[in-house]
Amino acid sequence: MPLSPQFLTVTPEARPHVALVQLNRPKELNALHYNLMLEIAQALEELCANPAVRVIVLTGSERVFAAGADIKFMSERTAVEMLEIDQISLWERIRKTHKPLVAAVSGFALGGGCELSMVCDMVVASETAQFGQPEIRLGIMPGGGGTQRLTRAVGKARAMEMVLTGQPISAQEAADYGLVNRVAPVGQYLEEAYRLAAAIARMSPVAARLAKEAVNRSFETHLDEGLNFERKNFYLTFASEDQKEGMAAFLEKRLPEFKGR
Ligand code: CO8
């Protein structure tokens, strides 16, 4: 199906081998209603199927990454309606993106917006970024992984405080806590995200995919099983031409040219 999203701008070749997905629902501060989440899931799946794309950058605007799930839409919903709409299944589709995903976050990343940044593999933040789980102030709680991913990223005490008070943290605090990789000035955060994406795009896409899977597995299983998974993916990299190229290039003292095969 060709891409024709209403609330997103998708640029498959924003940089060599790096795609950009930009949330574009400015009047509602990129509030994540069902259609926007559906478009994100579809765009990521299309980009995953595009062999020219090796890394994806997901961003919002300078003012806002995303202000959370759509409160207007949710305000009248019943539990059964929320269950039937099943927006969470779209989050699962996004989580399954097998190409490296870098969030470039400026301004508000609140509720589902913070959760969306945490579904990504790495986060580059602008100095103005704010990360928070304010759901409790609406009489609800996080539903897009906030209690789980945030806790794993920043530890129990900090996650408890954020989830139970709704108080956001600054970009610098998020960096200190390990929630974001790096903080850049407002005018440069997207470039910084591209730089990180480009560094990954120079690597073997096969190895990147297998390594991403293995790192993610560390959050999902115990050590023995995780090490076993890692070992199998490690052996699998030897089935790729990229492994031969990477090692030959090292021995011939030249840069490797990875093909993703
Ligand atoms: N949903 C819908 N509309 C929103 C949202 C939102 N989350 N956030 C902002 N808007 C709208 C406002 O209603 C306003 O619309 P209008 O102009 O029609 O009145 C417009 O965007 C601009 O907003 P503000 O005037 O409030 O702008 P400010 O700069 O004064 O404030 C804030 C910006 C601080 C971001 C403020 O808008 C705010 O606090 N927003 C809500 C943040 C929030 O509580 N987010 C959590 C939502 S719940 C959630 O995310 C649950 C996730 C579950 C994931 C799984 C789903 C199934």
Contacts of 255 (CB under 8 A, 6+ apart): 249
pLDDT in tens, 109-143: 999 999 999 999 999 999 999 999 999 999 999 99
258 found inside a domain: no
Q: What is the CATH number of the domain that holds 193?
A: 3.90.226.10
User: Does one domain contain both 133 and 234?
Assistant: no
Containing 221, the helix (H) or strand (E) segment is none
Q: Flag whether the pTM goes above 0.80.
A: yes
Closest residue by Cα to residue 91 from 122, 59, 69? 69
Residue 215 domain boundaries = 205-251
Residue (of 155, 164, 44, 24) closest to 102 by Cα position = 44
Residues 113, 195, single domain; the answer is: yes
Ligand 1 centroid to Cα of residue 47, in Å, is 29
Q: Which residue's alpha carbon is at the smallest distance from atom 45 of ligand 1?
A: 68
Enter the DSSP assignment of 60: -
For ligand 1, say whether the CB of 112 is within 6 Å of any of its atoms.
yes
Using the 8-state DSSP alphabet, how is residue 76 labeled?
A: T
64 and 190 fall within a common domain? yes
Q: What is the pLDDT of residue 254?
A: 97
Q: What percent of the chain has pLDDT above 90?
A: 96
- Same domain? For 192 and 217 the reply is no
In a domain, 3, yes or no: no
**Whose Cα sits closest to atom 11 in ligand 1?**
28
Q: How far is the CA of 28 from the centre of ligand 1 (A)?
A: 7
CA 108 / ligand 1 centre spacing (Å) = 10
The answer to whether the CB of 204 falls within 8 A of the CB of 242 is yes
Please name the helix (run of DSSP H) or strand (run of DSSP E) that holds residue 57, with its range, or none: strand 55-59
Among 74, 162, 187, which Cα is nearest to 110's?
A: 162
Please give the ipTM for the structure prediction. 0.97
| 257 assigned to some structural domain | no
Is ligand 1 within 6 A of the CB of residue 222? no
Residue 192 CA to residue 24 CA, distance in Å, equals 20
Indicate if 161 and 211 belong to the same structural domain.
no
Which tens digits make up the pLDDT trace of 204-245?
999 999 999 999 999 889 999 999 999 999 999 999 999 999
Nearest CA to ligand 1 atom 27: 29
| 164 torsion bin: left (phi>0), alpha (psi -120 to 50), beta (else) | alpha
Q: Is the CB of 88 under 6 A from ligand 1?
A: yes
Residue 4 has pLDDT above 80, yes or no: no
- What is the domain count for the chain? 2
**67 C-alpha vs ligand 1 centroid, how far in Å?**
5
For residues 227 and 161, state if they share a domain: no
Instruction: Over range 64-78, report the average pLDDT.
Output: 96
Nearest to 211 by CA among 174, 256, 243: 243
Say what percent of the chain tops pLDDT 70. Answer: 99
The set of catalytic residues is: 69, 112, 115, 135
**The pLDDT of residue 1 is above 50:** no
Asked if the structure places residue 84 within a domain, the reply is yes
Tokens of 165: 């008070």
Q: Is 68 in the pocket of ligand 1 (CB under 6 A)?
A: yes
Q: Tell which residue, 82, 69, 57, has the closest CA to residue 25.
A: 69
Q: What are phi and psi of 131, to 5 degrees?
A: -115, 130
Element of type H or E holding 216: helix 205-217
